[in-house]
Amino acid sequence: MNERQLLNKVGYKVNKDLLNSRGVVVIPEQTILQEQHVEWILNHGISPEEQDFENPQTITSDPLVTQASEMVKDMFHLINEEKEIPIEELNRSVIPTIYRAAEFPSLFSVLSGLQAKDDYTYRHNIGVGVISTLIGKWLHLSKDELSLLSTAATLHDVGKIRIDDDILNKPGKYSNKEYEMMQNHTLYGFEIIKRTPNLPPQLALVALQHHEREDGNGYPNGLKGGQIEYFSKIVAVADIFHAMTSKRVYKDAMPFYRVVRQMQQDSFGQLDPVICGVFISRMMELAVGDEVILTDGRRGLIMNCNPLDLTNPLVRVGDEYIDLSRNGQLFIQTLVG
């Protein structure tokens, strides 16, 4: 295949390991092809065939996010053993998968694939990576900035590899001591990333600052608005949304309408109001046509969003059209996708 043909396969899944003349794997099986991979293929003189790639239309989000979660799990175990970030492997395998997941027409079909209660820590990193990537696109970040943001978001909770599983998965409220230990994951993440040479400083700062808040009531350093790295603010929004909408071992997902209502309130003091506003408005635009479960248990489809009341759209349930912004009794319990 020539360069033009390969570029037409960007976004496709590689069906087998692509090897150079010495038998070394250059592009692993299951990789989602990106432009950088095309350059590697050409530089190594590899000649893949048409059947080596799978049309993205045949790929569903569930195996994609499961694959990415397993990659992050393996990578975090490796980091725990070797004490450094395998950044080349991350950029070659995990980040392209996150890009591909962020391109799915329904954000919520992707997030539903992350709802398994086990391995939450790893699935959460993927969820935050996907959401942060979408926010970055909606904020019109450059290609390089978006790549950096995706990497930072995927590594934001790497410090949790130093937190005992009994604390991570505790089914009840933390004691004061346990809460302090849990907060230390931000410091641990900063240390782990800083220990790896030649990494952009934003990666370590996002790990350190994603629990800081605009009003200074976050941790670990109580920073305020202008003191917080911009990418940390984006990841904070993604982190809160994914955490509140996720099932855990010890809790069910919070109803969608309550999550968004809480985030709208938090945009006045805790979260960056511009980032939060863009996320909520674009997320609801993206949700038009998606299936929802209402608080009375009925299923419907989002038909249109009210720009003055984004979280209470027009929903069709069977032959009935319900304007949630005028109803006052019904809300969106779950966005299915």
Instruction: Tell me the per-residue pLDDT of 18-58, one tens digit each, with 9 for 90 and over.
Output: 999 888 888 888 777 877 788 899 999 999 988 888 765 44
Question: Could you tell me how far CA 51 lies from the centroid of its own chain?
Answer: 30
Same-domain check for residues 189 and 322? no
Same-domain check for residues 30 and 89? no
Q: Which residues contact 100 (CB under 8 A, 6 or more apart)?
A: 11, 32, 56, 59, 64
- Cα(247)–Cα(250) distance, rounded to whole angstroms? 8
Of 194, 186, 221, 95, which Cα lies nearest the Cα of 148?
Answer: 95
228 with 202: CB under 8 angstroms? Answer: no
Strands 299-306 and 291-294 turn out to be: antiparallel
| Domain contains 322 | yes
CB 198: neighbour CB atoms within 10 A? 5
Same-domain check for residues 242 and 143? yes
| Domain contains 197 | yes
- Alpha helices of the chain — where are they, by DSSP H? 3-7, 35-43, 61-82, 87-89, 95-102, 107-112, 120-138, 143-154, 165-168, 176-183, 185-195, 201-209, 230-244, 256-266, 273-286, 324-327
Q: What is the pLDDT along the chain (337 residues), one digit of tens a residue?
A: 888 888 877 767 788 899 998 888 888 887 778 777 888 999 999 999 888 887 654 445 566 777 778 888 888 888 888 778 988 888 888 898 888 888 775 676 666 666 654 577 788 999 999 999 999 999 999 999 999 999 999 999 999 999 998 898 888 889 999 999 999 999 999 999 999 999 999 999 999 999 999 999 999 999 999 999 999 999 999 999 999 988 776 677 888 888 888 998 888 889 999 999 999 998 888 788 778 999 999 999 888 888 889 889 999 898 899 999 999 899 999 887 6
CA distances from 275 to 77, 104, 282 (A): 32, 21, 11
Number of domains in the chain: 3
110 with 65: CB under 8 angstroms? Answer: yes
- Alpha helices of 196-335 — where are they, by DSSP H? 201-209, 230-244, 256-266, 273-286, 324-327
Running DSSP on this structure, what letter comes out for residue 93? I
Q: Please report the pLDDT score of residue 106 as a whole number.
A: 63
Same-domain check for residues 102 and 163? yes
Same-domain check for residues 15 and 145? no
| Domain contains 278 | no
Same-domain check for residues 83 and 46? no
Q: Which residues contact 247 (CB under 8 A, 6 or more apart)?
A: 115, 117, 253
Q: Please report the pLDDT score of residue 113 as a whole number.
A: 63
| Domain contains 299 | yes
Q: Which domain holds residue 8?
A: 3-56
132 with 238: CB under 8 angstroms? Answer: yes
- Locate tokens 């600052």: which residue? 209
Residue-by-residue DSSP string for 187-203 = HHHHHHHHHSTT--HHH
Q: What proportions of the chain, in percent to the nearest 5, are helix, strand and coil? A: 55, 10, 35
